[in-house]
Structure 1
Amino acid sequence: MASLRHITVIAPHFKRRLSGVTSTVVQLVPEQQRLGLGIVTLGPGLPDHLPKMRWSDLPSLWRRPDGYRWRVWHARRNNEMLFGLLLKTVLRMPLKLLFTSAAQRHHSGYTKWLLRRMDAVVATSARSGSFLEVAHTVIRHGVDLSVFRPPQSHEDTIAATGLPGKYLIGCFGRVRHQKGTDLFVRAMIELLPHHPDWTAIICGRATAEHQRFADDLKQSVEQAGLSDRIRFLGEVDDIKPWYRRLTLYVAPSRNEGFGLTPLEAMASQTAVVASDTGAYAEMIVPGETGAVVPAGEYELLRDAIGEYLGDPHLPGEHGRRGLDFVRANFALYGEAEALVRVYGALIRNYPTDK
């Protein structure tokens, strides 16, 4: 059994399917380890390189970590909050409970009940924090600048893909109504005939419940005679080079919790047009690093995209500024350091020898 003597933070992950929370945990935990934090994950759906504890290790949580009276249980979902609460209040394990909230909606009575029982709460944006009725700290997500980087070689160009055109525009994520994939496809059908140098790609899979939605979009593209210039690539093995190959990235979501893709694009020196949902408006400086339009407003989204398609030099300029902005404000290590300070505030004043 792996020793938990030096582990002060448990990051549960109670979902097998890939999600935004998964991406956050996968990026953050190694960065927190580099800061010297003793942290492990618990649960399915995470890559093998992350530090893990087994379910059979749970009894070890009754034993306090070396030098401290508590560990931090850092939950990001309701079921993780509830499980931590049971460990703390029913099994009397020495835990401090922390929850990160990304939701931008009024919480249910059940969620509010759980939140009131947390020892600390973090919001991922000022907007998500505005829906909380408990004291909280705003810590925005960051992006790993060693993983998402500007183009450096021929492999980072549209020419390397074999796709037609000089410029690439893309929309990444699950293919579904919530993500606004239909708004992007509709805009491409309307705009691309006027901009022959551009090709559009959609990267991401459609789950079974959204397959009809995806099929309808593909049929619309075929009927418009644009199947060669609007490509559905599905779920690609590695999304990072695709960000670097883009001239413009579009995030047309109708609803998001936080949304990392604009940051990943900007870290790749790609300009962004995004809807005003999630934390997108906090990531983008309109007119300098990209454009922000009201969520679900098709005409405004189309027109914002059209400005970039009509002037290919503009996204290049905004992409360079966006890279500087992300480096200054959204580096992953900044998020990791801020969370470590929260952990410390929960446990640092309570060593076992006091």
Structure 2
Amino acid sequence: MLDPDRIRVVAPHFKRRLSGVTSTVVQLIPAQRRRGLGIATLGPGLPETMPALSFAQLPALWKKPKGAAHRVWHARRNVEMLAGIVLRDLLRMPLKLLFTSAAQRHHSRYTRWLISKMDAVVATSARSGSFLKVPHTVILHGIDTDLFHPPEGVDDTIAGTSLPGEHLIGCFGRVRHQKGTDLFVKAMIELLPRYPSWTAIVSGRVTAEHKGFADGLKADIARAGLSERIVFLGEVDDIKPWYRRLTLYVAPSRNEGFGLTPLEAMASETAVVASDAGAYREQIAEGMTGAVVAAGEYEPLRDAIEAYLADPGRAHLHAKAAVAHVRADFALAGEAAALEGVYSRLLGVPATSPQS
């Protein structure tokens, strides 16, 4: 069990279902702890290996942490901001409240009120920051480039699967209208008959409310006679090798918070075609690591994809550049260091040094 006296930052996670926030927390907190930062999660829906405080330990937060006058409560959702306000203002716990905003829309009056009570705010992109009405710091998400890395053997290619063809094109994430899965499938139905060396895969959870949407896409594929070349994998146990097996990754979201999948793909040495939802435009070096098109627009998406299907060599060239791009500008260690700077300013203590 963690010692609360040594925890300076609490990162609540008040949602059981997997989300982009979950992915961020799972990757980021171990990287922050490797820097020597006393940080822990609080709440359900995370792996048992994550450093976590229990709700039974909450009363310990009334006591100041070792070496600081406050702790940071790092919220990423409305319910977590509200809990922080209650703990700080009603229960008088020595907390400084930090909120990370990924939303790319005008906030509701309620959310604006919550944000106004924060001691500091971080935006995950310049675009999300443009919707904030308070001073903020922009810190782009990073990814673990040890976990997401280029192919290392035959199993990291299409040869490591039972799928036909020479090249894989993929679209990963929850299967629903918001994610643009239908735009990807429509493009594949139109394009794959002209490019017989390519096979398409879709991977991601289909929740009960979106089952009809997914079933409709599968029916369209069957009518086109492409069921063996446009394959729904479902939710796989480990998506990382599938990124490495791709020649091209497509992120066709209509709207997004930040969106990590293009970074995960590029770190895996895969070129990317994406909409301009979320922070995708800020992630992709257009014409060097991939292409960006207007969100929700089918024809520009289809045409951008076709440029790669017609020229796999271009995809391989952009994939090589993508690895260097992500490692230079989107490494997880950079995000961890930038956040620690915010924590240090809130706590009035020096930042820690990375542990060897």
Task: Please state how far the C-alpha of 1:286 moved relative to its aligned partner.
Answer: 1.2
CA displacement 1:73-118 (0-9 Å, x = unmatched):
0000000000000000000000000000000000000000011100
Aligned to 1:146: 146
Asked whether 1:225 is paired with 2:225, we answer yes
Describe the SS at the equivalent of 2:148. coil
In structure 2, distance between residues paired with 1:4 and 1:205: 36
In structure 1, distance between residues paired with 2:184 and 2:127: 25
Aligned to 2:156: 156
Aligned to 1:129: 129
Runs (4+) off by over 2 Å? none
Task: Please state how far the C-alpha of 1:14 moved relative to its aligned partner.
Answer: 0.1
Aligned to 1:235: 235
Asked whether 1:255 is paired with 2:252, we answer no
Asked whether 1:120 is paired with 2:120, we answer yes
Aligned to 1:284: 284
In structure 2, distance between residues paired with 1:146 and 1:262: 16
What is the letter of the counterpart of residue 314 of structure 2? Answer: L
In structure 2, distance between residues paired with 1:292 and 1:52: 38
In structure 1, distance between residues paired with 2:4 and 2:268: 38
Root mean square deviation, CA, Å: 0.8
Describe the SS at the equivalent of 2:201. strand
What is the letter of the counterpart of residue 64 of structure 2? Answer: R
In structure 2, distance between residues paired with 1:76 and 1:105: 15
What is the letter of the counterpart of residue 29 of structure 1? Answer: I
Task: Please state how far the C-alpha of 1:2 moved relative to its aligned partner.
Answer: 3.9
Asked whether 1:182 is paired with 2:159, we answer no
Aligned to 1:89: 89
Aligned to 2:337: 337
Task: Please state how far the C-alpha of 1:3 moved relative to its aligned partner.
Answer: 1.9
Contact 1:2/1:57 (8 A) holds in 2: no
Q: How does 1:56-67 map to 2 (within 5 A)?
A: 56-67=56-67
Q: How does 1:49-88 map to 2 (within 5 A)?
A: 49-88=49-88
CA displacement 1:138-190 (0-9 Å, x = unmatched):
00000100000000101101011010000000000000000000000000000
In structure 2, distance between residues paired with 1:296 and 1:349: 46
Q: How does 1:29-48 map to 2 (within 5 A)?
A: 29-48=29-48
Task: Please state how far the C-alpha of 1:348 moved relative to its aligned partner.
Answer: 2.1
In structure 2, distance between residues paired with 1:212 and 1:28: 35
In structure 1, distance between residues paired with 2:339 and 2:319: 29
Task: Please state how far the C-alpha of 1:290 moved relative to its aligned partner.
Answer: 0.3
User: Which ranges in structure 2 are unaligned for 5 or more consecutive residues?
Assistant: 351-356
Aligned to 2:295: 295
Aligned to 2:165: 165
Task: Please state how far the C-alpha of 1:21 moved relative to its aligned partner.
Answer: 0.2
In structure 1, distance between residues paired with 2:312 and 2:7: 50
Task: Please state how far the C-alpha of 1:205 moved relative to its aligned partner.
Answer: 1.4
Describe the SS at the equivalent of 2:127. helix
Q: 1:71 to 1:222 in 2, by over 3 A?
A: same
Contact 1:144/1:331 (8 A) holds in 2: yes
Contact 2:72/2:346 (8 A) holds in 1: yes
Q: How does 1:9-48 map to 2 (within 5 A)?
A: 9-48=9-48
Aligned to 2:264: 264
Task: Please state how far the C-alpha of 1:270 moved relative to its aligned partner.
Answer: 0.1
| TM-score between the two structures when normalised by the length of structure 2 | 0.97
What is the letter of the counterpart of residue 157 of structure 2? Answer: T
In structure 1, distance between residues paired with 2:22 and 2:245: 25
Aligned length: 350
Task: Please state how far the C-alpha of 1:349 moved relative to its aligned partner.
Answer: 4.8
In structure 2, distance between residues paired with 1:229 and 1:116: 51
Contact 1:41/1:51 (8 A) holds in 2: yes
CA displacement 1:227-264 (0-9 Å, x = unmatched):
00000000001000000000000000000000000000
Identity within the alignment, %: 69
Describe the SS at the equivalent of 1:69. coil
Asked whether 1:207 is paired with 2:207, we answer yes
In structure 2, distance between residues paired with 1:116 and 1:90: 16
Aligned to 2:101: 101
User: Which ranges in structure 1 are unaligned for 5 or more consecutive residues?
Assistant: none
Contact 2:71/2:96 (8 A) holds in 1: yes
What is the letter of the counterpart of residue 84 of structure 1? Answer: G
Describe the SS at the equivalent of 1:169. strand
Describe the SS at the equivalent of 1:178. helix
CA displacement 1:12-36 (0-9 Å, x = unmatched):
0000000000000000000000000
Contact 2:2/2:51 (8 A) holds in 1: no
What is the letter of the counterpart of residue 87 of structure 2? Answer: L
